[in-house]
Amino acid sequence: MAKQTLFIPNISCRHCIAAIKNELSKIEGVKKVEGDPPKKRIMVEWDLPATLEEIKITLKKINYPAE
Indicate the SS3 state at residue 26.
Answer: coil
With respect to residue 67, please indicate whether it lies within any of the assigned structural domains. Answer: no
Which pLDDT belongs to residue 48?
96
CATH classification at residue 27: 3.30.70.100
pLDDT band, very low/low/confident/very high, at 3 (cuts 50, 70, 90): very high
Which pLDDT belongs to residue 32?
97
Q: How many domains does the chain have?
A: 1
pLDDT, tens digit, 9 for 90 and up, residues 13-66: 999 999 999 999 999 999 999 999 999 999 999 999 999 999 999 999 999 999
With respect to residue 66, please indicate whether it lies within any of the assigned structural domains. Answer: no
The burial class, CB within 10 Å (0-12 / 13-18 / 19+), for 1 is exposed
Which pLDDT belongs to residue 21?
97
Which pLDDT belongs to residue 28?
97
